[in-house]
Structure 1
């Protein structure tokens, strides 16, 4: 039986139903459901809420959902918003490693104009070398039609949820109005590995030197690699930051839905005013998992420490700013929460998702199980045993990026511009944003493709 570490890292134990078979035939639905039940009953954080009399006649997807202690704002405010199952364990594990079939373009869909059923897409970023990049799409592009049809809240799912070639008709937004152009970009998705370490630079503004890094997902390395390539890339960037004598840091998490806690520990250890003896975070499990692993591993099983990093910049920082949004979740929030006891942390943007819980990947292809589970198995707390962000972190400065986007690193970007102002006291480019504008623009957003990435707060195209 295979379990891949996600958030949080788990030193997994073998127990009664560990696998011994090799290359078994695919299981029928009842056998698959029995396997799902056994694993969920052991690992699930809310195991005491799982029924003792499950209906094994359901399809595996329905069966898995029937076991969940589902969130309800009134009846179950402490409930589960994040566990999921995929029909293909291979696809689940690949997506957690940053590999998926994609055009290489992440975007958000917004109602435009507001209070109508019309929808437009706004490109958030494009992976270099991807089909979208080769087609000429860039961050900030707006599209209003797909395959010749105007997008609405009734048809966007059918038009965009496809692995086939799609043509996007670009449009311009100017002075609050939309004008469709004659420009069409055709894109065909491919299986693609995403490098999450997307952009970095250093600003010199007066006496301040400010490091800026954009990080899209907590992934240590390419899928099936074992080289920590992406963690090492971050190490290299922070080495450059240190050599540049930065005294402030801006970390862009606005499109980061989470990922592996090993990478979260690595990044936090590069940033924090910490030592290798300091606790990064504690892990709280259900009673059964706690008792089993306390006996086997002792108290150290239930916390992770920071690691010593020669590239650490923490002692030089006068300001630490995270750019966040309603798409920032999980490991992104873990880093923020884990650093709060050690240094002042400023959040600029929108309220984060509020995922203070961790999951583990459970699969067993050798036993003939084709599905992959990603159940919540733990709750995360910082050194001070605080985990009070289940409704998300409220930003210190509310700012919306809006629907007219600028290239990464451009101070005209409202979030980055506000962060630079907080650090330097000077608006590099004057911004006029306020809470009312933020609320209006957040209300106009329908969904984004970030939500379907592994670790996202929900699955995209759920209509």
Structure 2
């Protein structure tokens, strides 16, 4: 509901100055019309509008608006031109020519083979790349073909992966992964690690499927107390009721400690992040986060409009809330957006023991803009399927902490060991085992700092769009 309110308020801001420019409907061409949608949407909503001179309200006060639109050959060209410092500041805004695929992805439905993977640069610092299997979706092609967590691959269809070719090799509907072995030489250092092909391969094919983000939940007894464990892989609104059911089970088993595994969670719904955080911390009514928009929108929003609160219900359905004063959260560089939002916004209220590596560093949220008078899905232009997902606000926790562009730093630096990744949900899996040891020993432990390998990409790079954190 809050997003709809923002759309109406922001539209009012836009029409105030758009009425002062020349007639936007004079002899539009299809590309010109699409470019107009791009400019209007970003001029209205874009978080970094104030930093982009071509998005200024008076940019076309003396005319030349149509000539400006015509100077860009495609909506993608104009969109990319208007992004603010895309290599460093805005790494996450994007445009799509097919919003049907976007909507399916937001509901958890994508074209995939069921293999989650990350792509890492070789430990020797070369441009060679290897992939690791993070998890395998049940009843998927990968599952049927025998793919397992911890498998390593360094070639696709017989071609060795590197930073220049991995995108094209993994984008096809069907491909073969050529397996390899990772040897850590029995030491925590990575500079002497090696990856060696083993001659085996597995052929995988993609199909449309819906992923349940609740991959694994368990309850362990540690030092006489019950510990809940949840691997949660995406903040997908369609599974919120199932997430609440998991916490209902935790509550029924008197869980006194929680290990939340977000290591492969690239983000999703802000609303779901609020619900998950609310189920962890009994802070109903307290400030969860605040939002900072561009100056035009910020000036017409009240404090209440830009403030999100912990809650005790989801649309009237009571939440199953654990009253905890500490939570253990597992991360990698793939933990992004809404995952980081949970960590950052729980931190002022409880002891967040962050185990793993630095996170991705995305503190901004986006919204889907359609080519309609008020940018909503209703009455979208039927002649095309373009939509935009620009960054529209940045998030702050209740103490004002934001701008963590380099990621959130863990309390315990512990990258995954690609030579021994363990089994998800098993007490001996290295990251989970570390959390359980801390619980067992009352956090009286020290761990060596281990340098993580460079993340090059992961499975989300091969989806139609990159969702991130959205309203």
Interval containing the TM-score (normalised by the shorter chain): 0.7 to 0.9
* Aligned-partner SS, 1:328: coil
Q: How do 1:2-401 residues align onto structure 2 when only pairs under 5 Å count?
A: 9=3, 11-14=5-8, 15=11, 28-50=30-52, 51=54, 52=59, 54-58=68-72, 59-71=74-86, 79-112=89-122, 114-163=124-173, 165-174=174-183, 175=185, 176-221=193-238, 230-275=239-284, 277-292=285-300, 294=301, 298-309=302-313, 311-315=319-323, 317-364=324-371, 365-401=380-416
Distance 2:440 2:460 in 1: 31
State whether residues 121 and 453 of structure 2, in contact with CA within 8 Å, keep that contact through their aligned partners in structure 1: no
Point out which structure has higher relative CO (alpha carbons under 8 A, 6+ apart): 1
The Cα of 1:417 is off from its aligned counterpart by 1.7
Distance 2:50 2:256 in 1: 49
Distance 2:127 2:48 in 1: 39
Is the alpha carbon distance of 1:337 and 1:432 closer, same or farther for their aligned partners in structure 2, counting shifts above 3 Å? closer
The Cα of 1:10 is off from its aligned counterpart by 5.7
The Cα of 1:210 is off from its aligned counterpart by 0.8
Distance 2:265 2:159 in 1: 31
Distance 1:343 1:206 in 2: 21
Q: Mark the runs of 5 or more structure 1 residues left unpaired by the alignment.
A: 19-25, 74-78, 222-229, 459-463
Is the alpha carbon distance of 1:268 and 1:426 closer, same or farther for their aligned partners in structure 2, counting shifts above 3 Å? closer
* Aligned-partner SS, 1:270: helix
Q: How do 1:419-430 residues align onto structure 2 when only pairs under 5 Å count?
A: 419-425=435-441
The alignment yields a C-alpha RMSD, in angstroms, of: 2.8
* Aligned-partner SS, 1:329: coil
Distance 2:383 2:292 in 1: 31
Query: TM-score scaled by structure 2?
Result: 0.81
Name the counterpart of 1:442.
453
* Aligned-partner SS, 1:93: helix
Distance 1:334 1:179 in 2: 38
Is the alpha carbon distance of 1:452 and 1:145 closer, same or farther for their aligned partners in structure 2, counting shifts above 3 Å? closer
Matched positions, count: 418
Is the alpha carbon distance of 1:286 and 1:215 closer, same or farther for their aligned partners in structure 2, counting shifts above 3 Å? same
Distance 2:231 2:169 in 1: 30
Name the counterpart of 2:188.
none
State whether residues 34 and 56 of structure 1, in contact with CA within 8 Å, keep that contact through their aligned partners in structure 2: no
Could you report, residue by residue, the CA deviation over 1:143-172 in whole angstroms, capped at 9, with x for unpaired residues?
233223333344323322212x21222223
Is the alpha carbon distance of 1:451 and 1:162 closer, same or farther for their aligned partners in structure 2, counting shifts above 3 Å? closer
State whether residues 152 and 181 of structure 2, in contact with CA within 8 Å, keep that contact through their aligned partners in structure 1: yes
Is the alpha carbon distance of 1:116 and 1:42 closer, same or farther for their aligned partners in structure 2, counting shifts above 3 Å? closer
Q: Mark the runs of 5 or more structure 2 residues left unpaired by the alignment.
A: 16-27, 61-67, 186-192, 372-379
Aligned partner (choices 413, 425, 428) of residue 429 of structure 2 = 413
Is the alpha carbon distance of 1:31 and 1:249 closer, same or farther for their aligned partners in structure 2, counting shifts above 3 Å? same
Is the alpha carbon distance of 1:289 and 1:240 closer, same or farther for their aligned partners in structure 2, counting shifts above 3 Å? same
Name the counterpart of 1:224.
none
Distance 1:332 1:266 in 2: 12
